A and B are shown apart, each in its own frame.
Chain A
Amino acid sequence: MPMSFMPKPDMPPGALTLLVLRVLQSGSLHGYAIAQRIHVLSSEVLAVEEGSLYPALQKILLKGWVTAEWGISETNRKVRFYRLTAAGRKQLQAEMSNYDRVTEAIQTILRTA
């Protein structure tokens, strides 16, 4: 089980940012919830560890793609919730179409080569 918690070493660079932005599209979440959501939605294939999630979140905050605001967690604790900004939405669109293009290209090569 611990092995599944390791981030996949071959996760493409920038993919974590894309996933974080994507799961925040439907509403604001706190850090743990983001990790959980990615874990669950990927049918427990992808696991996001603290060591990579929080540096990524800081970077996204710095870029201005999300803002942090205080909220109350399900355990009644005061905690930071991340919400997508307009710039973040734009970035998500750009990254998603870019991702689609790249995967499509890779798929084409895998099929035809």
Chain B
Amino acid sequence: MGELFRRLRYLLFHRRFDRELENEMEFHREMAARQGRDRDFGNTLRLREQSREAWGWTWIDRLFQDLRYAARILWRSPGFAFTAIGVLTIGIGVCVTGFTMLNFLVFSFLPVRDPASLVRLQRRSPEINTAETPYQSFLFYQAHTKTLSAMFATMGSPAMELDDDLKPVSIDFVTANYFTELGGTAETGRLLDPHRDDSAAAAPVVVLNYMFWQQRFGGDPSVIGRVIRLNKKPATIIGVISAFSANLDGNDANVYLPMKQQPYFVAGSTALTDVFSPGGVRMWGRLVPGVTVKASAEELLALTNDLRKLYPKLIWDKEYIHIDPGGHPTILQPEMLRAFALIAALLSLIFIVACANLGGLMMARSVTREHEISIRIAIGANRKRIFRQLFTESLLLALLGSFSGLTLSYMGLRIISSMNPTPAWVSFAPDWRVLLFVVGIAVLAALFFGLAPALQIARQRQRKTIVRQILVGAQIAASCVLLIVSGLLVHAVLHMMHTDPGFGYEQVIGVSPGLDSHGYTHQAAQSYIDTLRGRLLGLPGVRSVALSKISLLGNGYTAYMTEDIGGHAVNIYPNWVDTEFFKTMEIPLLRGRNFRPGETHAVIVSDSLARKLWPGQEALGQKFGDQKDLVVGIAGNARIKALNDGDAVEVYWAMQPSDMAAMTLLVKTAGAPDELPPMMKSIVETLDPKLFPYIWLLKSGFRDYTKILENTALGVSVLGMMAVLLASVGIIGLVAYAVSQRTKEIAIRLALGARPMHVLSVVLRQFLIPVLAGAVVGAMITAGVSQFLHKILFGISNLDPVGYAGGILVLIAIAAAAALLPARRALRVDPMSALHEE
């Protein structure tokens, strides 16, 4: 300990210590001279340096020396420095952008009070997980928990009509303590107050989101106190949330309403009183300081078991409350990890291309430095020192590239977030994690591109073409992976846009009257839907009306069962439909028959499911599941709820009267459906003024799906093009270098009458193998890992030959162009002047 302290003290006062040592050694020499030992003491500076080494800090001096030298070297060759920093800026900037996003979403805290103690609470059992909990259960946990200092909840609800606006507003019911618990502040007016707004009897109030206030009310502060109508229910605006207050879990509704007033706004709803009513609340809590997540989970499990005594049918077998840290913009789910890993892998390919590229550049450059290095070795520099110096140079380059990459990434993110509606508190300013990443990736880059060349130069072994070839091969392989992936995605987009998806959606309108959220019984729902169906069929241009329990394309949630069939996990998408469904959705019945009205225990499976469950057998008449359900028909494949997943299969049950209140109507029109929704809306509302139906065109839902795929394909294609352009810059440089190295040889060949093609092949031969090998390796890597892509390829095989061929062809074409461009110089060599030069 004392030694470390003395070492540090030396570092702090090293100037004084140095002076003292110098003085002391001078005195020594004086005394020696005085005693007649007048002689040469050798290099006094060197002696002093040797003494200083004992303190173990000379590496700092050397580092600064090396850095100064490296800076001077780069300054003297600005062309090289700019190219290298440019390549690194792109390669590293892409990765830094990825990490900044990840950091923002997963690691950074929301600007709320004490985010570290926030937790999200969800019902789970080994089989089921859901985000929603019945309100009464929430109240039970809230009343009894001792490990959570506070609990609060939010409840989503269908969008509501604001006054006479065409566009509905998204709303969220929140417990009255929601804003006080999060420490939210009001831009103007006030937010919900647990003392005033926690009652069904209180005057109905509305809190506006900042961005919505800006868009809808033009940021007018006088809206406070104004009465607006939400779904025709008057309510008073009491305040606007500050732009710098965040909501939990990306939950940004346009308006916030007090939970207790939910029955007022959604007439007939029993969500707050009936634990079996559809919909529930999302629970949040705050851990008591010092209480661990585990202790809280144990307490909540005990409470769940108490709750089972109150509602034996509500609580599942082995139910527990799952706790996630809640204070981050995104709560990391296991399935996200896979997506993150995929993105990280694609981004790191760009990084690899950039490093390999720069590695090649450094190798070519080493030739020009041969002279300098041999002089330095000749005057006594040891190889270790030379190596250290060269590596410092790489490190300096990498750091410059890394920080310029950070700047580029920050500016890019700023531009993107200014073009999209982004809450004011969102910031991509680098924090310590991002800075650590930037420095870390710079060191990694320096190791990748600087280590091999530095070793080679220091050992004075050069012109090893094999290393350069490996570097070219690595760039080609990494670009190849990106291009093939983008080829697959582009093909998937084309496939999706130009192939029949197996169902018709262009002329279908979805109508979700929301009967269950307004407390309809099955019988009431049955008669309502019968009337509604009759009225809809009476509209001009309506061909058929079908019922479907699962909402399709553009509305509703997705439910699926994962079943193990023949050792593979298969996602089965269920639906409960009436007899009109297959006709309306244009899904062909391949074999067997349609459902019959009022039928129970009848099942229709998709062709894909039949083939998986009963390969080589007749599926009709088979028993499905462990129920008494019999397969009566085989329908065409129609992955409506999972367009992107080529493995998804479907199963349909005949709808039962008890499903009636949850049904969605699908209306098929003869012509374009765009004009009909307003008419349908007024029909639904005149039949029951309580209802506020959600009506949408299935084709716009389909388009949203394609949009996501198009954006993914575009993003990966941009990455792929960046990679291949970086790689071709590298190839141009290396071919140009090869030509300049072999000018004499080419001149002799030309003088002896070699044909231009032959000369070209001599120059390019050394690049042919690495390019081809790189393409093959890249294709193999892609094929090896591509089953991860399968679920986003919209039915295209992950080994789709078109995607692979497309990617490789683009790559070879660009690589060939990059090689031929500088190689043409070889043909212009004038034999006479080239041979005269030496």
Which A residues lie at the B interface, using CB under 8 A?
A: 2, 5, 30-32, 35, 50-51, 54-55, 57-59, 61-64, 68, 73, 75, 77, 79-80
Q: Which of B32, B39, B52 contacts A58 (CB 8 A)?
A: B52
Of the listed stretches B19-27, B379-387, B735-743, B765-773, name the one at the interface; the rest are far from the partner chain.
Answer: B19-27
> Which residues on A sit within 8 Å (CB–CB) of B10?
62
Nearest CB to that of B52 among chain A residues?
A: A58
Q: Which of A5, A31, A35, A54 has the most CB of B within 10 A?
A: A54
> Which residues on B sit within 8 Å (CB–CB) of A2?
39
A62 and B20 in contact (CB under 8 A), knowing A50-B41, A54-B47? no
Bound together, the chains give a CA A75 to CA B7 distance in angstroms of 32
> Which residues on A sit within 8 Å (CB–CB) of B31?
32, 73, 75
A51 and B47 in contact (CB under 8 A), knowing A31-B27, A64-B3, A79-B27? yes
> Which residues on A sit within 8 Å (CB–CB) of B222?
none
Distance to closest chain B CB from A49 (angstroms) = 9
Distance to closest chain A CB from B38 (angstroms) = 11
Bound together, the chains give a CA A77 to CA B28 distance in angstroms of 11
Interchain CB contact under 8 A, A32 and B32: yes
> Which residues on A sit within 8 Å (CB–CB) of B2?
64
What does the 1/0 interface line of B1-43 toward A look like (CB < 8 Å)? 0110011001000000000110111011111101001010110
**10 contacts across the A-B interface (CB closer than 8 A):** A5-B37, A5-B39, A31-B25, A50-B28, A51-B47, A58-B55, A59-B54, A61-B54, A62-B10, A79-B24
Q: Does B50 count as interface, using CB distance less than 8 angstroms?
A: yes
Nearest CB to that of A58 among chain B residues?
A: B54
Bound together, the chains give a CA A62 to CA B34 distance in angstroms of 30
> Which residues on A sit within 8 Å (CB–CB) of B20?
68, 80
A55 and B53 in contact (CB under 8 A), knowing A2-B39, A62-B3, A64-B6? yes
Q: Does B51 count as interface, using CB distance less than 8 angstroms?
A: yes
Interchain CB contact under 8 A, B24 and A30: yes
> Which residues on B sit within 8 Å (CB–CB) of A30?
24, 27
Bound together, the chains give a CA A76 to CA B29 distance in angstroms of 15
Bound together, the chains give a CA A80 to CA B7 distance in angstroms of 19
Not counting A35-B28, A50-B28, A62-B7, a sample of 6 additional A-B residue pairs whose C-beta atoms are within 8 angstroms of each other reads: A30-B27, A54-B51, A68-B20, A73-B27, A75-B34, A77-B27
Distance to closest chain B CB from A46 (angstroms) = 15
Bound together, the chains give a CA A20 to CA B41 distance in angstroms of 21
Bound together, the chains give a CA A91 to CA B20 distance in angstroms of 26
Nearest CB to that of A77 among chain B residues?
A: B27
> Which residues on A sit within 8 Å (CB–CB) of B54?
55, 58-59, 61-62
Bound together, the chains give a CA A77 to CA B20 distance in angstroms of 13
Which B residues lie at the A interface, using CB under 8 A?
A: 2-3, 6-7, 10, 20-21, 23-25, 27-32, 34, 37, 39, 41-42, 47-48, 50-56
Bound together, the chains give a CA A68 to CA B32 distance in angstroms of 21
Interchain CB contact under 8 A, A62 and B55: yes
Instruction: Decide if the interface of chain A is mainly helix, strand, loop or mixed.
Output: helix
Interchain CB contact under 8 A, A55 and B28: no
> Which residues on A sit within 8 Å (CB–CB) of B39?
2, 5
Distance to closest chain B CB from A74 (angstroms) = 9
A50 and B7 in contact (CB under 8 A), knowing A5-B37, A55-B51, A58-B55? no
Bound together, the chains give a CA A62 to CA B42 distance in angstroms of 25
Distance to closest chain A CB from B588 (angstroms) = 87
> Which residues on B sit within 8 Å (CB–CB) of A61?
6, 54
Q: Which of B47, B48, B53 has the most CB of A within 10 A?
A: B47
Bound together, the chains give a CA A77 to CA B29 distance in angstroms of 13
Q: Which of A62, A73, A77 contacts B6 (CB 8 A)?
A: A62
Q: Which of B28, B47, B52 contacts A32 (CB 8 A)?
A: B28
Distance to closest chain A CB from B441 (angstroms) = 37
A54 and B25 in contact (CB under 8 A), knowing A61-B6, A64-B2, A64-B6? yes
Bound together, the chains give a CA A59 to CA B10 distance in angstroms of 12
Bound together, the chains give a CA A2 to CA B48 distance in angstroms of 21
> Which residues on A sit within 8 Å (CB–CB) of B28?
31-32, 35, 50
> Which residues on B sit within 8 Å (CB–CB) of A31?
24-25, 27-28
Bound together, the chains give a CA A80 to CA B18 distance in angstroms of 13
Nearest CB to that of A59 among chain B residues?
A: B54
> Which residues on B sit within 8 Å (CB–CB) of A62?
3, 6-7, 10, 54-56
Distance to closest chain A CB from B36 (angstroms) = 10
Interchain CB contact under 8 A, B23 and A79: yes
Q: Which of B3, B6, B24, B29 has the most CB of A within 10 A?
A: B24
Nearest CB to that of A47 among chain B residues?
A: B37
Nearest CB to that of A2 among chain B residues?
A: B39
Distance to closest chain B CB from A70 (angstroms) = 9
Interchain CB contact under 8 A, B3 and A63: yes
Distance to closest chain A CB from B34 (angstroms) = 7
Distance to closest chain A CB from B21 (angstroms) = 7
> Which residues on B sit within 8 Å (CB–CB) of A77?
27, 30
Interchain CB contact under 8 A, B50 and A55: yes
Bound together, the chains give a CA A57 to CA B23 distance in angstroms of 15
Bound together, the chains give a CA A84 to CA B826 distance in angstroms of 76
Bound together, the chains give a CA A57 to CA B51 distance in angstroms of 8
Nearest CB to that of A78 among chain B residues?
A: B23
Distance to closest chain A CB from B181 (angstroms) = 56
Nearest CB to that of B34 among chain A residues?
A: A75
Bound together, the chains give a CA A99 to CA B674 distance in angstroms of 102
> Which residues on B sit within 8 Å (CB–CB) of A57?
51
Bound together, the chains give a CA A68 to CA B17 distance in angstroms of 11
Nearest CB to that of B46 among chain A residues?
A: A51
Bound together, the chains give a CA A55 to CA B24 distance in angstroms of 13
Bound together, the chains give a CA A80 to CA B19 distance in angstroms of 12
Distance to closest chain B CB from A80 (angstroms) = 5
Bound together, the chains give a CA A108 to CA B675 distance in angstroms of 114
Distance to closest chain B CB from A47 (angstroms) = 10
Bound together, the chains give a CA A63 to CA B29 distance in angstroms of 26
Interchain CB contact under 8 A, B42 and A54: no
Bound together, the chains give a CA A50 to CA B33 distance in angstroms of 13
Nearest CB to that of A33 among chain B residues?
A: B31
> Which residues on A sit within 8 Å (CB–CB) of B47?
50-51, 54
Interchain CB contact under 8 A, B25 and A50: yes
Interchain CB contact under 8 A, B34 and A80: no
Bound together, the chains give a CA A30 to CA B28 distance in angstroms of 9
Nearest CB to that of A56 among chain B residues?
A: B54
Q: Which of B29, B51, B56 has the most CB of A within 10 A?
A: B51
Nearest CB to that of A51 among chain B residues?
A: B47
Interchain CB contact under 8 A, B37 and A80: no
Bound together, the chains give a CA A109 to CA B685 distance in angstroms of 114
> Which residues on A sit within 8 Å (CB–CB) of B48?
54
Distance to closest chain B CB from A2 (angstroms) = 6
Nearest CB to that of A73 among chain B residues?
A: B27
> Which residues on B sit within 8 Å (CB–CB) of A68?
20
Distance to closest chain A CB from B32 (angstroms) = 7
Nearest CB to that of B49 among chain A residues?
A: A55
Distance to closest chain A CB from B58 (angstroms) = 12
Bound together, the chains give a CA A31 to CA B41 distance in angstroms of 16
Q: Which of A57, A58, A73 has the most CB of B within 10 A?
A: A58
> Which residues on B sit within 8 Å (CB–CB) of A79?
23-24, 27
Bound together, the chains give a CA A45 to CA B28 distance in angstroms of 20
Bound together, the chains give a CA A79 to CA B32 distance in angstroms of 15
Bound together, the chains give a CA A68 to CA B10 distance in angstroms of 13
> Which residues on A sit within 8 Å (CB–CB) of B27?
30-32, 73, 77, 79
Nearest CB to that of B31 among chain A residues?
A: A32
Q: Which 6 A-B pairs have the closest CB atoms?
A: A58-B54, A54-B51, A59-B54, A32-B31, A32-B28, A55-B51
